[in-house]
Structure formats: structure tokens, C-alpha cells
Amino acid sequence: MKILQINSVYGIRSTGRIVTAIEKLLDETGFEHCAITGEGDFSDPHVHVMSGRLYQKANILLTRIFGRHGFYNKWATKRALKFIDREKPDLIHLHNLHGHYINAPLLFNYIREKKIPLVWSLHDCWAFTGHCPHFDYIGCEKWKTGCYDCPQQKGYPVSLFFDRSEKNYREKKALFTSVPDIHFVLASKWLQSKVKESFLGNYPSCIIMNGVDTSAFYPRVTNLKEELGLSGKFVIMGIIREFSGPKGGEFFLKLSEMLKEDEYIVLVSLEEKPENIPPNITALPRTDSKEKLAEIYSMADVFVNTTLQETLPTVNTEAICCNTPVVSFDSGGCGETVDETCGILVPRGDAQALYNAVQRVKRGELSMEGLPTRRETLDNGARFCAHIDLYKQILSK
């Protein structure tokens, strides 16, 4: 039996690491596998890259001008369908369909015509909205009945001139519900509740929480504090790109104003210019290295997640696997990753509560005895075995 996985990335970032983790299990259980990815450079003939970076940029430009994300990339998608014809998968496992790499109508019409069983892992809400992958940040509920006048038109996937949310919603609904054999895999109870309220609500679904590669994310002995000149400091770690937006970056600026002299913030992936960064914040570059990221988690005394919208935060579970306690806003599925055994949840958007929770961790008021045990339960081998069971269940029919 052969499983084809389709995702915007392969082997990098959270969804790309999920794809390769499932492939590892497929190898161990005797399944054949292949993959289609939106970007990358791979020599493996069973990994098909949709197109080059220049072609992808052209489709990004089309989205920004015309706002029809997911309806371009016809040439690259036709090439991908030839790859599927060659590989002849028994089941397709779709992950992120968005990402400027594939034409949704061509793909879904092909799946329907070929009658290939489809498993679709939703990592966000893009599949059932007219534009956005998340709506919690602004509290929009138009997706329940039909999108229009999108308040996030200029958010990812950026459309600068035209609001196509109503047309996109109508066509996505018709397209995605035209395939009768879909089983949805959802990473959190929160996301499952949203899917149940959407036009995809009549399809079968199950929850398989994202696992962590515990062979990479484990407590590491590191001298990174010394290298960064932070010896003796209480280090608060975060992962954000900017000091604004739905990831709540502005709350690290608010935290920086509250910190004591022996407290310091280290932010990974921050793209702000150095002159915009307060002196008690150090910015480290983005890394796709699991080993390097695990070293940073292990160096930190607490990991703080300020996200204001989230399906299920992999960063929380990665930190926990490195024995680093987590303080997180109670946004989306965050509450399904953090409890009193490994951290503290605080009300969404409450900066003072965030700082108070950090102080509780610093004072050692939490036992954190559950951290090693939680690491065992978060291992992606144990979590993702459920995917193999699901494949067998579907193919047995």
C-alpha cells in the first residue's frame, strides 16, 4: 500500500516535520510512501517539488493582485498530477493546501474522478473560510454562513486590491464537499469544534494531536547563556517574527517594561531592526534546525507564548519536551497543551497575568514534576501511530 502526502513544505517548520515523521512510521510499518511539496530541493525521486521559487513568487503576485489564493498554479499542478499517476497511491493525505503552490480545483477534481480516499489534516481554518487561515484574532464568525467584506483581506494570503472572500468561500464549499470520501484529522478539540460548525461539519473527523520528535527535543546541557552574555540571568524565551499582529509580539514589549534587572528576554525569529529592540531583549535568527532550537529551549528558564490565535501550538510542546515550563495565553488550542504539571495558562491578552505567571515560575512555586512524564506522552511516534491505524481502517474498506 502506498500513501501520498501533500503539503506546502517538507521536513521543515511544524507541518513539514509532521510529514517526515509520518513517513518514518510508514517505513517502520511496511507502507510505501511519496510526497508532493511546494518548495525545496530534494534528490529523492519520490518527493515531487511543485515548482521553483520564481514561479511561486509569480503566484504570490497573482494572489496579491486578484485575491484568488488556491486557484492559480495550474501548470505546476498538472505536473504534480502526472507524478500522482506515476506513483499510483492508494490513499492521499493532504496537509496545508494553502501556501501559493497548488491549484485546488485541479487537485480535487482529480481526486474525485480517480476515487482516491482522502485524509485531510487541517492545521488551521483556511479550508472553510473565504480567505484567512485564522479568525480568532478579530473575532470574525462570517465563515459559519458565508464570507464577505473580509476584515483580513490584507492579511495572509495578502490580497491588496480585491476582496474575493465571498467568491472563494462559495467555490471552496462546492469544491471541497464534492469529494465524498474525506476523513479529517484535527490537531485539537478547539479546531474540531470549529469544523463541526462549518460546511465541512458532516464529514467524519478525529483528533490526533501533533507530536514532537523527542529524539531531537530533549533537555540539553548547553553553555548558550554564557555565549549570549546572560550568565546569572532568568531567561524568558519566545518565538515571534514581529512586535505586532496575531502572535502577540507586542506583549514581549510590555513584559520588557516590567522585568527586573536579573530578567532577560530571548526572542527567536524576530525580524525587527536592532534599533527597535529594547536593551533587555536579545533577538536570535530563525532556525530550521531542531537541535539548535532544542538548545535554546533548554537554555531558557521559561517559555512564553503570547499568541492570540492558535490551533495547537507545537512550540509549547517542544519546550515541554526540553523540560522548560510554559506560560501561555489561553488562545485556541493552547489550553490542550499546558496544565499545572508543566506550566501556567493565563487569560488571553492579559500582560500583567503573563508577568505574574513568569514570576511564579521564577520563584519555584510550581512543582513541574510532570514535565518528564509529559515528554513521554508527546513523542510523535506514539501520537502519529494513530495515522497508520486510520490509513489501515480506511483502506480495509
Reply yes or no on whether the pLDDT at 188 is more than 90: yes
DSSP 171-205: HHHHHHTT-S-EEEEES-HHHHHHHHHSTTTTS-E
**Distance in angstroms (rounded) separating the CA atoms of residues 214 and 12:** 16
Residue for grid cell 503570547: 306
Average pLDDT over residues 183-210: 95
The pLDDT assigned to 373 comes to 76
To the nearest 10°, report the CA torsion of 61, 310, 117, 5. Answer: 60
pLDDT digits (tens, 9 = 90+) for 119-163: 999 999 999 999 999 998 889 999 999 999 999 999 999 999 999
The pLDDT assigned to 368 comes to 74
- Count the Cβ atoms, other than its own, within 10 Å of residue 279: 7
Helices 351-362 and 250-258, axial angle in degrees (round to 10)? 60
* Residue 148 grid cell: 464577505
> ω before 180 within 30° of 0 (cis)?
no
Decide which of 41 and 291 is more confident. Answer: 291
Element (H, E) at 234: strand 234-239
Map residue 277 onto helix, strand or coil: coil
**Distance in angstroms (rounded) separating the CA atoms of residues 73 and 65:** 15
| pLDDT, averaged across the chain | 92
pLDDT tier at 371 (50, 70, 90 boundaries)? confident
State the number of CA atoms in the 13 A half-sphere of 91 facing the CB: 24
149 burial via Cβ count (<10 Å: 0-12, 13-18, 19+): exposed
> Among 17-21, 87-91, 293-297, which is the least confidently predicted range?
17-21
Helix segments in the chain, DSSP class H = 13-29, 53-66, 74-87, 104-114, 165-176, 189-197, 224-227, 250-258, 290-299, 314-321, 351-362, 371-377, 380-395
**Distance in angstroms (rounded) separating the CA atoms of residues 262 and 388:** 48
State the number of CA atoms in the 13 A half-sphere of 73 facing the CB: 34
67 Cα distance to chain centroid = 23
Q: Calculate what percentage of the chain has a pLDDT beyond 70.
A: 100
pLDDT digits (tens, 9 = 90+) for 223-244: 999 999 999 999 999 999 999 8
HEC string for 133-170: CCCHHHCCCHHHCCCCCCCCCCCCCCCCCCCCHHHHHH
DSSP tag of 276:
G
53 Cα distance to chain centroid = 21
Average pLDDT over residues 91-109: 96
**What sign does the CA torsion over 308, 313, 316, 318 have?**
negative
pLDDT digits (tens, 9 = 90+) for 18-65: 899 899 999 999 999 999 999 888 888 899 999 888 888 888 899 999
pLDDT digits (tens, 9 = 90+) for 247-288: 999 999 999 999 999 999 999 998 877 778 899 999 999 988
Reply yes or no on whether the pLDDT at 197 is more than 90: yes
CB 314 within 8 A of CB 320: no
**Distance in angstroms (rounded) separating the CA atoms of residues 357 and 325:** 11
Average pLDDT over residues 385-391: 93
pTM equals 0.87
**Distance in angstroms (rounded) separating the CA atoms of residues 103 and 79:** 11
